[in-house]
């Protein structure tokens, strides 16, 4: 049974025939670590967006103009992450 790697992009970039030298091994380790951090950060962003979307949806008790401003600010914040 094959397990899925948690660093598929790094694995693809470093997949090659031949022996690994020390520098390539260290570069792979750093790249894998960065990919894991990126994956964790992307998951965190996803959770924050879901929480923010829920908060905006629950903000029916505030005034309409305040709600529009909140919605605009939230939409702008989500756009700038990329």
Radius of gyration from C-alpha coordinates of the chain: 21
> What is the pTM (predicted TM-score) of this model?
0.59
Number of other CB atoms surrounding residue 7 within 10 Å: 18
Question: Looking at the predicted structure, is the pLDDT value of residue 1 above 60?
Answer: no
d(CA 12, CA 77): 32
d(CA 46, CA 60): 23
Q: Average pLDDT, stretch 71-78?
A: 80
d(CA 76, CA 14): 37
pLDDT of 16-33, one tens digit each? 656 667 877 788 888 889
Q: Average pLDDT, stretch 37-58?
A: 84
């Amino acid at each position: 049974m094959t397990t899925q790697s948690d660093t598929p992009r790094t694995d693809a970039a470093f997949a090659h025939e031949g022996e690994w030298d020390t520098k390539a091994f260290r570069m792979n380790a750093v790249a894998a670590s960065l990919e894991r951090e990126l994956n964790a950060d992307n998951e965190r962003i996803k959770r924050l967006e879901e929480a923010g979307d829920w908060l905006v949806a629950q903000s029916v008790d505030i005034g309409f103009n305040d709600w529009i401003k909140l919605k605009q600010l939230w939409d702008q914040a989500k756009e700038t992450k990329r």
